[in-house]
Structure 1
Amino acid sequence: MTNVKLCIPFASSLLAVYSALAQPTHPVQYQTEVGFYGTSIPFWLRANQYGIVPSQGPSVTLRQGFSRAYRSVTRNNDSLPAHKRRIDWGWGVEGVLNAGASYKLLLPVAYVKVKFGKNLEVWAGRRREIIGLVDSTLSSGSYAWSGNALPMTKLQIGLPDYVPGNALFGIKGFYAHGWFENDRLVNHVLLHQKALYGRLGKPNWRFKLYTGMNHEVMWSGTTNQLAGKSVIKNDQLPNQFSDYINVVLARPLGDRTDLDTSRISTFDHENRIGNHLGTVDLALEYTARSFSVFAYRQNIYEDGSLFHLTNLADGLNGLRIRNRRPRNPNGLQIQDVLLEYVYTQSQGGSLFLENDAQRGRDNYFNHSQYQDGWSRYGLTLGTPFISPTTDSRAELPRYGFTNNNRVAVMHLGLSGLIMDYFRFYLKASYSENIGTYEVPFLNPVYQFSGLLSISSPVRHLKGTTATASLATDQGELYENRMGFYVGFRKEGLF
């Protein structure tokens, strides 16, 4: 008995020492959230939430996540200094349960990542991502990849940060292969994705210039639901390695005479293999002592209009002003102000002809082969303002994945602090919607969507935050509605 009594405090001491040493070196972070949505869920309660918010309420949501980041750059007690570590790793997982009229269990995050050297990263699984030069918190949504839908299952290699880090010129980018869900008109669809961005100016310079582009492609797939041999052969879209090379290079097939017409359809021959889209981005950042300015432009390409300079009017334009003054413990302090203008009504014009000046009718996010559109589980992968047909009022025309890809949106975002205790953000968007070239709306349809969210720490509950959000839709595109969300979130390390 004496030995047992001695061992218990000794073991407890070892555990305490281990915990003290292990926690700062490579801890696991956890996030637990419980919340409630009211009967109606307006646009801004659901948009750009990675597909985890239910489409209808009332609903209770439970969210649990765990993650382990790369080791800190400081010297660890039980390992080499992180900056000398040649290989490091991390992981993350998050589950979401929505319970209302029905139950749905989602897995938005599940990944393993490995870092080689200072910045080369390989990861597999699902992660939250926004692609493009854009504000990441208050934006209406990056055009091609906004975080509006459930994250894609991918295998990716890339440089997540600009390298060399302190040089005059730096680059970052990635190359990825992914898989769409199979609950689609076309199943076994693959994703090809890559991006390359450059920065001119050292990180500590006042002025910095950014530019780059991203390339998104849906390709391959099987279905027996596409009528006619002009768009598919033998129920199989091109899926061979030679087709993959054509996808990666975005190679047009119109001039090719060596194609296997037993598997390459007329549609593929006259266009490219796959559904190609993306943006070419430009941004300028200015940092002063008390504020910073970030201005950006995303130029849209799909079907070649940007190459022929016929859809230059289309794009996402943004201006963010950030307050860099110290926090004010008294009164109201605005932190970020964001203005954006999204325009997609040109699409190169109403004609699609083999003529540089008349190569238009791009029909953003719709496609003749991939008729579920640029979507995942029914939600738009890109800007949420090109929304699914099913989201619009019943009296509006029904067409394709989206019946409204010609939009003009003014968007305001605002965030700040009250008494250095309450954190708030506001989103307000007003849009003109005119349908598509194929099925235009009879008259322009106008829509306002807004959101106000306030959060604060909960006293006596360390690491716990309470949030209350109120949103509304008023106009002619969506049903008029008001909705709310209240929730509690606990974060910590172990």
Structure 2
Amino acid sequence: MNKYPSLHEFIKWVLLLVVVFMSQQSFGQIKKPDLSISSQNLVSVKGYQPIWLTANRNGKFDSFSRYNSAWSFSLESVLDNNKTFDYSYGAEVLVRGADQSELYIHQGYVRLKGGVFRLDAGRIEQTFGEHLKGLSSGSLLISNNTTPIPMVNISMPEYETIPFTNGLLKLRGNLLHGWLEDSRYVTDVYLHQKSLYLQAGFDHWPLQAYGGMVHAVQWGGNSPQYGKLPSSISDYTRIFFARGGGSSSPRGESINALGNHLGIWDFGLKGEVEKWNFKLYWQHYFEDSSGMEFQNIGDGLFGIGVLTQKKQFITGVLVEYIRTINQSGAGLHDKPGDVSFCTEENCGYKYGGRDNYYNNSIYRSGWSYNGNILGNPLMLTTHQISVYLPDSEIYQPFVENNRIAAHHMGIEGYVSSQLNYRLLATYTLHHGNYSGANFGQEWGSKDPANNRKDYTFYPALEQWNFLLEMNYDPLTLQNVSFKTGLALDTGQVTNNLGLIIGVTWNIKDLK
């Protein structure tokens, strides 16, 4: 993986430094940051790591190395939300020893606040969606499963009252432009992302309802097959409104929407009862108009969780159900040729199916960043399948197993005032993908010549993934915390055991 900056990467960092300089001039003396030094070490029985030792940890570890030793050095100042205008900044350098050792800038950003709006520029750890982030399996769209993407993000991060509603209705949203890494099948790819949420309910009510959409697009870039892909200002308006491309676009993008579109409808209820905060949520995933119109109605991330600020044995419980099996049905997306062994058109299914989550025929590196899935990590890449199940045939360019049904639980709490824990347990049925189920053919599953049992994921493979993690903050060592944890994978996909040991030293108000 190339960590040296390209020309456009260099330009981005120059612009970032300019913003930092402007913020210093505008707000006077630069803020004193807090310093954090951390060491985290992983070891596993197999030559790769159990899922929950590396997933949703912001890409800091090498999933395909038996040993990991990650040292991070970070500076961070705090944004004062009580001020009308304020700024903050942060930087984190990470040194990782593994089969693929690296030294790189993991985070480097500045935040500017003006009224209800905020501007973020640089690399910053973040996720999108209203799920309970500490215990969740991860957002279906953008989780914290990868290293941070360089971006510029304008947002209204908190719900703000819509005029003339007296606080009954509130809005929040964002607009982001990012740059994906160059070590992809299509290089120089842009990321477009935006969101808009509406919340209904007064603050003093015990219950509020919310709903919104998060929309993302991979667009532009240089393709080995199609050459330079459309990336002009007019093309930006096309991807913003999900319209088809012009005559210079690849055929699929001129007929359908320009770029690789993904998103979630995000609905839920939240409130507080007896100092317990609760949330009930549903992320409905889509990749095209059929998904936006809920043709894949059964697919999504469903969760219910409760949290409290009290330091007690159980401070949070979350249960999730993740389903991506339907994908708008088993029917082909467009009209096929004649199929002799089907008496009905499209074998009796609707067109517009087989959405093939996280894969794309033009952007063949898929919905990823630096080789990791940007969305929920329970779906498995071709690399993972080739390691876990080396005899399995590969049918997809990036995500080989994108049809799953999973039950996930997370629990956290305190054993004592200095010792807290986090427990994750996940049971998943892995169904592979539609192409594999059809042996790479249009209707191979209907062909009497094929035996469905020859497909690795028929019947679906069962898998359990566990994590128990503990953090200890000794009274005798102020600002020092210790971490240890065990992760276990057991089932028909992979069997593995891993250990994490870490220590973090926080220095407040660095002089």
Q: TM-score, normalised by structure 1?
A: 0.85
- Matching residue of 1:395: 391
- Matching residue of 2:407: 410
Does the alignment pair 1:342 with 2:351? no
Does the alignment pair 1:32 with 2:25? no
Post-superposition CA distance 1:333-375 (Å, at most 9, x none):
1111100000000001111346994321100000000011000
Is the Cα contact below 8 Å between 1:305 and 1:347 reproduced in 2?
no
When residues 307 and 160 of structure 1 are mapped into structure 2, their CA distance, relative to the original with a 3 A threshold, is closer
Give secondary structure in 1 for the equivalent of 2:237.
Answer: helix
When residues 211 and 379 of structure 1 are mapped into structure 2, their CA distance, relative to the original with a 3 A threshold, is same
Q: C-alpha separation between the residues in 2 aligned to 1:66 and 1:204?
A: 38
Q: C-alpha separation between the residues in 2 aligned to 1:290 and 1:191?
A: 40
Post-superposition CA distance 1:232-288 (Å, at most 9, x none):
3xx1111222111110001146xxxxx43xx22212122111000010010101311
Task: Tell me how far 1:72 sits from its aligned partner.
Answer: 6.5
2:501 to 486, 489, 492: 486
Aligned AA (1:461): L
- Matching residue of 1:91: 89
Matches within 5 A, 1:3-402: 26-40=31-45, 41-55=49-63, 56-71=65-80, 73=82, 82=83, 85=84, 87-117=85-115, 119-164=116-161, 167-224=167-224, 226=225, 232=226, 235-252=227-244, 259-260=246-247, 263-323=248-308, 326-328=310-312, 333-353=313-333, 357-392=350-385, 393-398=389-394, 399-402=396-399
Is the Cα contact below 8 Å between 2:144 and 2:374 reproduced in 1?
yes
When residues 291 and 132 of structure 1 are mapped into structure 2, their CA distance, relative to the original with a 3 A threshold, is same
Give secondary structure in 1 for the equivalent of 2:52.
Answer: helix
- Matching residue of 1:429: 426
- Matching residue of 2:443: none
Q: C-alpha separation between the residues in 1 aligned to 2:31 and 2:141?
A: 35
When residues 93 and 470 of structure 1 are mapped into structure 2, their CA distance, relative to the original with a 3 A threshold, is same
Q: Between Structure 1 and Structure 2, how many residues are aligned?
A: 437
Q: Unpaired segments of 5 or more residues in structure 2?
A: 1-29, 336-348, 438-456
Task: Tell me how far 1:168 sits from its aligned partner.
Answer: 2.0
When residues 368 and 353 of structure 1 are mapped into structure 2, their CA distance, relative to the original with a 3 A threshold, is closer
Task: Tell me how far 1:167 sits from its aligned partner.
Answer: 2.0
Aligned AA (1:39): S
Q: Unpaired segments of 5 or more residues in structure 1?
A: 1-24, 74-81, 227-231, 254-258
Is the Cα contact below 8 Å between 2:331 and 2:350 reproduced in 1?
no
Is the Cα contact below 8 Å between 1:50 and 1:108 reproduced in 2?
no
Q: C-alpha separation between the residues in 2 aligned to 1:26 and 1:161?
A: 24
Q: C-alpha separation between the residues in 1 aligned to 2:483 and 2:333?
A: 52
Is the Cα contact below 8 Å between 1:132 and 1:213 reproduced in 2?
no
Q: C-alpha separation between the residues in 1 aligned to 2:332 and 2:244?
A: 16
Give secondary structure in 2 for the equivalent of 1:60.
Answer: strand
Task: Tell me how far 1:111 sits from its aligned partner.
Answer: 0.5
Q: Aligned Cα RMSD in Å?
A: 1.9
Is the Cα contact below 8 Å between 1:473 and 1:481 reproduced in 2?
yes
- Higher alpha-carbon deviation: 313-322 or 386-395: 386-395
Q: C-alpha separation between the residues in 1 aligned to 2:392 and 2:399?
A: 11
- Matching residue of 2:341: none
Q: TM-score, normalised by structure 2?
A: 0.82
Is the Cα contact below 8 Å between 1:27 and 1:493 reproduced in 2?
no
Q: C-alpha separation between the residues in 2 aligned to 1:101 and 1:252?
A: 43
Aligned AA (2:500): Y
- Matching residue of 1:475: 491
Q: C-alpha separation between the residues in 2 aligned to 1:125 and 1:220?
A: 20
